[in-house]
Structure 1
Amino acid sequence: MKQKIKIWLRAARLFSLTASIIPVTIGAIFAAKESKFQLMYYLLSLFAAVLLQASVNMLNDYDDFINKVDTKDSSSSNGVILENLLTPKEISKGGRLVLALGCIIGLFLAFKKGPFILILGAIGALSGYSYTGKPLMLKYRGLGAPLVFIIFGPLMVLGGYFVQTQRISTNVLLLSIPVGLLTTAILHANDIRDIYHDKKAGIKTLSIIIGRANACYIYYGLVYLSYISVLAMTYYRVTPIWSLLCLITLPTALKNINKLRISNGSASGLKALDQETAKLQAQFGAILIISLLFSSIK
């Protein structure tokens, strides 16, 4: 049983789940300055977001395997299907079940907090399913990166905030920019690494459409703009001065950028770049959350 749980956690890509934890938490903590913090509703919104991401990860693995994007020669899969740890049918059923559970929680939150949550949840669920699911298969049409930015940036940050306040804030949307950019960089690092195999499979990710050199520039831009946006928001007092502590993670960001720069198109040299970018996103997001906590203490 313990081994089975480990396999399912691997299928959910546990290392990447900060991509949903960070934005929802940022939205909720930012709301604490304006209203009483509601722990139960925060946990429910967090659980719904994590379930959405886990379902997308599993359904993505299923679709990539069925469409022959993931093979034994590629490095993009987490391996649970290729290593016969789970069957494609099990992954598909698991992804749909987790998505359904997330939707049930979303419906409860919509009932308690208003129809706007229903709208956000519906956009998130449909977008997540359509990431690689038929008929839209957005990742295969070069739309994966913008979709990830929308879901794990504005959608989740605003959702975490709205559950607490039942309001929409321009500042919250601005706050979603750096975390959305870094989360998109995780996917983009994956796509750059997999250009050869993705092209061989006949799909068109953004990295394939614009070419590897330009794809690298986009990765650099996603990372650098995350820091620039925090500097700008701190200057205009959207975020507290404590938010400048995010600059502590800049050496890690530069290390990732340098790894991509010197890779010279080698997929093996970029094997862990998506995981390293996920670590950067988690560190950056955690510091941003702490800075918001400091500013909300009265």
Structure 2
Amino acid sequence: MNTIQNKYTFLHALRPFSFGVAVTTCLIGITAAWQEGVLIPLNALLVVIGGLLLQSGVNLINDYSDIELLSGEEGSACLIAAIRRNFRAGIGCFLLATPLGLYLVADRSMALLGLFALGLAGALGYTLNPVNYKSRGLAVVLVFWLMGVFMVVGSYVAVGGVLNRAIIAQSIPISLLVSLLLLSNELRDYESDRDQGLKTLTVRAGFTQAKRLYWLLMASTLIACLVLWVSGLLATPWPLLISLPFMIRPLRYLNTSAEQRRPLTPATGQLVMVFGLLFCFALN
């Protein structure tokens, strides 16, 4: 199976390595609520399940805009069929997450309804026309909010917390890494995206500038943690030191060929998962 065919298989489209985003962002919100003694266990379980369904849905619809690029090419019928199958599965994930979200809205706050609706709209607009903010070069910026800040804050409120500035500030480091993971995906696929005419941020800015942004996002994560610690919003930074080797590993792939760069995204996904879990310990 060649690289293009493999790209549209269900497992590849599901992108299991990115599940760390959903798990860690939800866990940070849950941990913050637990720390304050307001955690509702059932809601916490529903938040994690809903977060995984949302992440799965976003991943599975990710390639839908490729249909337009593939149409008319020889041998593209099977690829288009696979993309449509994945898209239907992604919509199914959103539908499964909907009743969970409605329960949390009814149990906690109507304000969550607006947050969930915004998150769903953002997920659908990721690759779907006429929005398609992936091809507009906006994905790295928007996932910071949609899959980062909103997930942490939404989880915190859904499991018993009350919206405040502290939880927003505490969501910044992991949100930067969520953007880093998306950027790693663009860096990995730079050549194929460029050849297919996909105007991602990396294609628009150029590979060299995107690499610099990768470094900047990683450094900004560390700086944000230091600021949280100094301001008293992070109990201790020391558990986060364990994540440093996981930060170094993906950097090795930035200056390699397209084929050798394939592990960049899984390595960045591991970083997100490890850092997020350690951040939960650092909050306490």
TM above 0.5, yes or no, is yes
C-alpha displacement at 1:251, in angstroms? 2.4
Deviation at 1:173, TM superposition (A): 0.9
Letter paired with 1:253: M
CA–CA separation in structure 2 for the residues paired with 1:250 and 1:184: 18
Give the gaps of 5 or more residues in structure 2.
1-8
Following TM superposition, by how much is the alpha carbon of 1:9 offset from its aligned partner in structure 2, in angstroms? Answer: 5.4
Gaps of 5+ in 1: 1-6, 72-80
Runs of 4+ in 1 over 6 A off after TM superposition: none
What is the alpha-carbon root mean square deviation over aligned residues?
2.2
Would you say 1:156 and 2:151 are equivalent positions? yes
Q: Distance in 2 between matches of 1:204 and 1:120?
A: 28
| Residue 246 (structure 1) aligns with | 240
Alpha-carbon deviation of 1:277? 0.3
- 1:290 offset after TM fit, Å? 2.5
Kept after mapping to 2: 8 A contact 1:19/1:281? yes
Shift of 1:160: 1.0
Residue aligning to 2:265: 274
TM-score when scaled to structure 1?
Answer: 0.85
User: Is contact 2:54-2:97 (8 Å) kept?
Assistant: yes
Q: Residue 284 of structure 1 corresponds to which residue in structure 2?
A: 275
Question: Within 2, Cα distance between the matches of 1:135 and 1:104?
Answer: 27
Q: 1:123 to 1:226 in 2, by over 3 A?
A: same
AA in 2 matched with 1:208: V
Of all paired residues, the percent bearing the same amino acid is 29
The aligned counterpart of 1:3 is: none
2:178 aligns to what? 183
Alignment partner, residue 23 of structure 2 = 21
Distance in structure 1 (CA, Å) of the matches to 2:273 and 2:69 = 31
Supply the distance in 2 between the matched residues of 1:67 and 1:52 (Cα, whole angstroms). 26
Counting only pairs closer than 5 Å after superposition, residues 1-298 of structure 1 correspond to structure 2 as 11-68=13-70, 82=79, 87-241=82-236, 243-260=237-254, 262-263=255-256, 266-292=257-283, 295=284
Which residue does the alignment assign to 1:4? Answer: none
What is the alpha-carbon distance in structure 2 between the residues aligned to residue 67 and residue 56 of structure 1?
A: 20
TM-score normalised over the length of structure 2? 0.89
Question: Quick check: 1:17–1:50 contact (8 Å CA) kept in 2?
Answer: yes
Partner of 1:76: none
* Compared CA separation, residues 205 and 8, structure 1 to 2 (3 A): closer
Deviation at 1:29, TM superposition (A): 0.8
Distance 1:24 1:212 in 2: 32
Matched residue SS, 1:32: helix
Q: Structure 2: which amino acid aligns with 1:58?
A: L
In 1, Cα distance between the equivalents of 2:250 and 2:12?
A: 23
- The count of corresponding residues between Structure 1 and Structure 2 is 272
Which has the higher mean CA deviation after the structures are superposed, 184-193 or 276-285?
184-193
Paired position in structure 1 for 2:6 = none
